């Protein structure tokens, strides 16, 4: 089912960002780890099958690089997830 793997990876990236926002966990999560989670999403071919998903993921990656707040990055990832759902991918 196209999109399911991409949706799962995007959700994992969102969960990672939410952990940063909540201050949960004993370890500090670095921007590098967040960027790697987003890059993992970009590696999937599923993101090419639905318009705007790759663009939103790229914007989220740029936001991490630019030091934008975690909630901004998360909202961009939610936009990517929404685009997957609107695109008819089975998520």
Angle in degrees, CA 12, 13, 14, rounded to 5: 90
pLDDT at 19: 85
In a 13 Å sphere around the CA of 33, the CA atoms on its Cβ side amount to 12
pLDDT at 38: 97
Distance CA 22, CA 39 (A): 23
Q: Which residue has the higher pLDDT, 90 or 76?
A: 76
Distance CA 80, CA 4 (A): 13
**What's the CA dihedral at 40, 43, 49, 53 to 10 degrees?**
40
Architecture of the domain made up of 4-86: Up-down Bundle (1.20)
Residue given tokens 């952990």 in the structure block:
19
pLDDT at 86 over 50: yes
Give the pLDDT confidence of 25-73 residue by residue, as tens digits.
Answer: 556 888 999 999 999 999 998 888 888 999 999 999 999 999 999 999 9
On the 0-12 / 13-18 / 19+ scale of CB atoms within 10 A, 36 is: middle
pLDDT at 1: 46
């Amino acid at each position: 089912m196209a999109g399911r793997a991409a949706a799962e990876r995007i959700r994992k990236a969102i969960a990672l960002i939410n952990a940063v926002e909540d201050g949960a966990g004993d370890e500090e999560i670095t921007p590098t780890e967040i960027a790697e989670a987003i890059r993992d999403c970009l590696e999937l071919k599923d993101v090419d099958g639905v318009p705007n998903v790759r663009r939103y993921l790229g914007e989220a990656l740029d936001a991490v690089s630019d030091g934008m707040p975690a909630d901004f990055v998360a909202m961009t990832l939610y936009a990517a997830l929404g685009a997957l759902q609107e695109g008819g991918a089975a998520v």
